Amino acid sequence: MSRWLGAAVFAFALADEGSAQAVPRVRPRLVVAIVVDQLRADYLDRFRPHFGPNGFNLFLRRGASFAEARYEHSTTSTCPGHAVILTGSYAMVNGIIANEWYDVRRGRRENCAADTSVTLIGSSAAGRSPRNLFGATVGDVLRTATNGRSHVVTVSVKDRSAIMLGGHLADAAYWIVDTLFVTSTYYRPGLPEWARAYNAGGAISKYFGRPWERLLPAVAYAEMGPDDEPAESDGSGMGRTFPHPIGGREAFDRSPFPNDVVAEFAMRAVTAEGLGRDTVPDLLGIGFSANDWVGHLYGPESHEVMDVTLRLDRTLDRLFGFLDRTIGLRNVVIVLTADHGVGPMPEVLRRIQPAASPRRLDPAVIDTAVRRAMEARYGPAPAPGWIAYHAPPLLYLSPVALAATRVRVEEAERVAQAAVQSVAGVHEALTGTDLARLREAGAESGPVRSFHPSRSPNVYYGLQPYWLADGGTSGTDHGSGWLYDQQVPLLWYGAGIAPGTHQTPAAISDIAPTLSALLGLGAPGGSQGRVLSELLR
């Protein structure tokens, strides 16, 4: 058994007293973990002149920040990012290798939060739960240590974000489906009265028909370049320039306003569930996902990304003001980070230098290369062909084809790997067999941290820096092992936190053990991070 499997087995066991480090004198009544979906580390410096006094500046002026914080894994997408934050572990332990992967045993794709044994409350969409997450979150450790007296509630636009932050023992995770907040029967039999009342108020549909305008006068956005950039997506009829009409739910999703609704719902939860009301600590997880859609459609160099960031700053100001009035900020510890960064659009690079090499690489080109190489070597495969599933950076060969042709998996992987590696723009391709060996040898690389032996693919690949795996012509993406996707803000404020700016390296896996130390608890069992002792008072 590897040491990581050993760690996972004891995921729910609290660390013994001897390992609890630097237990602070001030215990928070409420831990607030805020995750912004797609917020690159450099945005804080870039947009800081336009921040209000008590949003991001609460952290930047009166809290602690780590300028060199990053994910040490290479699949920088939403579900893996959220899974790291409160477990302190990477996919090599927590199993969340991507937003979606291929379940080889069942022969079907698997969403990271899928669970067919439960149903949603308030929607007929597919069931969701933390079942696919291995190990414990800070909330799980807290609920265990207090015999369930602590409350753990998470709220997000996206299901996977609320669910991964909550962990296995959360009271509830809430997210938006259509125009309503929903949860899963995994957590509770029905929506609480306050949540039903919130839904009945039409909080989301009231945005329909209102345009999205810039928060500040247009001149403040001039530093971002022109508002109209041809490689921006038109965002489902919202257009490439301000003002963007919000005709319905789809456009609402692609606007900054889901963040406001999530903050409002989270504040209702604090009041109704009595979070932070007594000395038994509670945990509130909040996922602000609006930034991700806006970033994908318009790219990091856009007026829209600047605007969604500034609007989030004002939303944070309202949230922190509320927490101060209801609980007192001295009783709260707040950590803010992101699930990943984002890369620029290749077209923007080429506007500056037309000969710049980064391009969009259509994943279909990789499909074709692999299929041709496999057919040339082994002949045609039975339906559905040689590739069972391919969503960058994961490529799974068909288990049916491998069994039918009696080809050794390791040998077939080598053929597919060479085909992927031969495509222009590919930086590196690794086989599942390679990754398993590297993992056993204790290698600590991004791809190894993003690999889990029971779920990972036959070929794992990454593109050269600034290339995008995308078959379209507009928008941008994240998901690579390069710094623009890995580096995110890491901000702290509140009970037990010494103010200061730190240039020392910090990993996102350090958040969970640090929060645990602030609570006087052992870190979640699978945690791979360290306690950021430099920020403890």
The residue (of 292 and 313) whose beta carbon lies closer to Zn ion is 292
Residue 156 or 431 with smaller CB distance to Zn ion: 156
Query: Containing H/E element for 221?
Result: none
Give the residue with the Cβ less far from Zn ion, 37 or 273.
37
Q: Is 339 in the site for Zn ion (CB under 5 A)?
A: yes
Q: How far is the CB of 77 from Zn ion (least distance, A)?
A: 6
Relative orientation angle of helices 290-298 and 257-273, to the nearest 10 degrees: 170
- Shortest gap between Cβ of 141 and Zn ion (angstroms)? 25
Minimum CB distance to Zn ion smaller for 94 or for 516: 94
Active-site residue, selected from the candidate residues 78, 87, 337, 431? 78
Q: Measured from the CB atom, is 37 or 115 closer to Zn ion? A: 37
Give 294 or 388: the residue with its C-beta nearer to Zn ion: 294
Kindly provide the residue ranges of all beta strands, DSSP E only, lying in 37-122, ordered along the sequence: 64-66, 69-70, 100-103, 108-111, 120-121
Residue with tokens 């007296």: 149
Q: Which of the ranges 73-81, 320-328, 423-431, 451-459 carries the binding residues for Zn ion, by CB under 5 A? A: 73-81
Establish if 292 lies at the interface with Zn ion (CB under 5 A): yes
Distance of CA 251 to the CA centre of its chain: 22
Annotation says 78 is catalytic: yes
Helix pair angle (409-421, 432-440), 10° resolution? 110
Instruction: Tell me if 74 contacts Zn ion by CB under 5 A.
Output: no
Measured CA angle at 364 (ends 361, 365), to 5 deg: 60
Peptide bond into 243 cis (omega under 30): yes
User: What letter does residue 283 receive in the DSSP assignment?
Assistant: E
Task: For the beta carbon of residue 243, count every other beta carbon within 10 angstroms.
Answer: 12
Q: How far is the CB of 34 from Zn ion (least distance, A)?
A: 14
Query: Please, what is the minimum distance in Å from the beta carbon of residue 3 to Zn ion?
Result: 30
Q: Is 37 in the site for Zn ion (CB under 5 A)?
A: yes
Burial of residue 413 (CB within 10 Å: 0-12, 13-18, 19+) is: buried
User: Chain centroid to CA 462: how far?
Assistant: 19
Contact by Cβ (8 Å): 381, 374 = yes
Stretch binding Zn ion (CB under 5 A), from 43-51, 303-311, 333-341, 425-433:
333-341
Stretch touching Zn ion by CB under 5 A, among 17-25, 35-43, 301-309, 501-509: 35-43
φ and ψ at 429, to 5 degrees?
A: -125, 135
Name the residue with the smallest CB distance to Zn ion. Answer: 78
The residue range among 29-37, 202-210, 373-381, 440-448 that interacts with Zn ion, by the rule CB under 5 A, is 29-37
Q: Which of residues 77-96 bind Zn ion (CB under 5 A)?
A: 78
The structure tokens listed for 100 are 């979606």
- Where in the sequence numbering do the catalytic residues fall? 78
Write out the residues near Zn ion by the rule CB under 5 A. 37, 78, 292, 339
